């Protein structure tokens, strides 16, 4: 196991633009440690959702030095994995006021990204400056200028009824505007909204949007589209679905991992492998997927794909029964 030589690994620098836009997230990196302890290669396993943060983490790990893996006293190259959490922490009242003032100033100048930022600040019910009506006004101004993130957020607000009664038609209209700009998150949201209905034309359109988002590498769309394909009878569709599930699972998508586990367990599109199914159920369970946690508990109880272990079965059942964590 390689160990980090801490004095030779400086903390990555928070990108200035990311600070201005209050970007936060967790990056998972895989990196190859050479025999001299230097990082020879690195890959983004799971994105933070913000390319600048991903790149900064990757640049930072590239400057680190490690104690290399040794086998029989000889240094060997080895791949390792690490997470880096980018967080701004809770701002002080003065910092929050300054951020609000800066966003308002630029929003009033007509900058859509600042209108979106101001809208999200004012929509936050835990913020002292909370003003839902004004928030919606600023979000609409940004969305009307074609700012895709504002369009996506308005769609989510309309769908959930956060600013009045739920309005599925308005939600889909905003999702569609952002989706047509190529935003995969919006394409996925529009697809799911369309799948709620039972009209064949809506299902066909939903599948098309899932395909577009999946083609861009959006993990959740790869997972949902892949699951739809593996339910079909044509072998080529099943094979395509398995490939998409593998891609989603490799990005850490818990639903993709769950569906990949199910296919291993059923021998659908591949040779049945209970041990491999258990591996993917566990990864999905660790990602918080309740169905995976329940299934994993059953596998440990029966000893299917894993050694029977009543204690582990009880722990996973307890995790499955616990209510999902809620954001503060």
Contact yes or no for 32/83 (Cβ under 8 A): no
Query: In 3D, which of 71, 72, 73, 65 has the Cα closest to residue 31?
Result: 65
3 pLDDT exceeds 50?
no
3 state DSSP class of 78: strand
Distance of alpha carbon 43 from alpha carbon 61, whole angstroms: 10
In this predicted structure, what is the pLDDT of residue 6? 37
pLDDT band for position 198 (cuts 50, 70, 90): low
Tokens of 197: 């209905």
- Give tens-digit pLDDT for 171-183: 999 999 999 999 9
Query: In 3D, which of 80, 88, 46 has the Cα closest to residue 64?
Result: 80
Distance of alpha carbon 159 from alpha carbon 146, whole angstroms: 19
Q: Which of 81-95, 181-195, 223-237 has the lowest mean pLDDT?
A: 81-95
51 pLDDT exceeds 50?
yes
Task: Give the residue-averaged pLDDT of 208-212.
Answer: 97
In this predicted structure, what is the pLDDT of residue 242? 98
pLDDT band for position 261 (cuts 50, 70, 90): very high
Q: Express as a percent the part of the chain with pLDDT over 70.
A: 94
Task: Give the residue-averaged pLDDT of 186-196.
Answer: 94
Task: Give the residue-averaged pLDDT of 138-153.
Answer: 96
Average pLDDT over the chain reads 88
Distance of alpha carbon 111 from alpha carbon 123, whole angstroms: 18
4 pLDDT exceeds 70?
no
89 pLDDT exceeds 90?
no
Residue position matching structure tokens 């400057």 = 63
SS percent in the chain: helix, strand, coil, step 5: 60, 10, 30
66 pLDDT exceeds 90?
no
Chain center to CA of 218: 9
pLDDT band for position 23 (cuts 50, 70, 90): confident
Q: Which of 80-89, 152-161, 247-256, 273-282 has the lowest mean pLDDT?
A: 80-89
Strand partners, 175: none
Task: Give the residue-averaged pLDDT of 75-92.
Answer: 80
94 pLDDT exceeds 80?
yes
72 pLDDT exceeds 60?
yes
Distance of alpha carbon 94 from alpha carbon 265, whole angstroms: 55
Contact yes or no for 229/241 (Cβ under 8 A): yes
Give the best-scoring range by mean pLDDT among 37-41, 93-97, 297-301: 297-301
Which comes out higher in pLDDT, residue 71 or 12?
12
Give the gyration radius of the chain's Cα atoms. Answer: 23
How many CB atoms neighbour CB 47 within 10 A? 18
| Cα distance from N-terminal residue to C-terminal residue, the chain | 36
């Amino acid at each position: 196991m390689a160990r980090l030589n801490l004095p030779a690994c400086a903390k990555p620098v928070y990108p200035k633009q990311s600070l201005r836009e209050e970007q936060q997230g967790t990056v998972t990196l895989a990196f190859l440690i050479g025999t001299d302890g230097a990082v020879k290669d690195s890959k983004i396993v799971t994105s933070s959702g913000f390319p600048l943060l991903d790149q900064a983490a990757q640049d930072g790990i590239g400057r680190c030095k490690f104690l290399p893996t040794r086998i029989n006293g000889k240094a060997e190259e080895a791949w390792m994995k690490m997470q880096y959490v980018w967080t701004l922490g809770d701002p002080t009242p003065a910092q929050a006021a300054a951020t609000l003032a800066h966003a308002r100033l630029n929003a009033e100048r007509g900058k859509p990204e600042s209108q979106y930022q101001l809208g999200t600040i004012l929509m936050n019910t835990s913020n002292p400056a909370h003003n839902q009506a004004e928030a919606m006004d600023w979000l609409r101004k940004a969305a009307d200028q074609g700012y895709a993130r504002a369009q996506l957020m308005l769609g989510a607000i309309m769908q959930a009824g956060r600013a009045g009664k739920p309005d599925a038609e308005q939600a889909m209209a905003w999702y569609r505007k952002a989706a047509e700009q190529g935003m995969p998150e919006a394409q996925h949201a529009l697809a799911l909204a369309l799948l709620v209905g039972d009209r064949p034309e809506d299902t066909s359109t939903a599948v098309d949007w899932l395909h577009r988002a999946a083609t861009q590498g959006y993990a959740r769309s790869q997972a949902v589209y892949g699951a739809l394909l593996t339910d079909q009878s044509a072998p080529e569709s099943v094979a395509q679905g398995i490939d998409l599930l593998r891609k989603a699972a490799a990005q850490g998508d818990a639903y993709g991992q769950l569906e990949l586990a199910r296919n291993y367990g059923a021998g659908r599109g591949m040779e049945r492998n209970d041990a491999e199914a258990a591996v993917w159920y566990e990864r999905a369970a660790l990602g918080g997927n309740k169905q995976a946690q329940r299934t994993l508990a059953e596998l440990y109880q029966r000893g299917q794909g894993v050694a029977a272990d009543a204690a582990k079965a009880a722990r996973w059942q307890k995790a499955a029964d616990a209510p999902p964590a809620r954001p503060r």
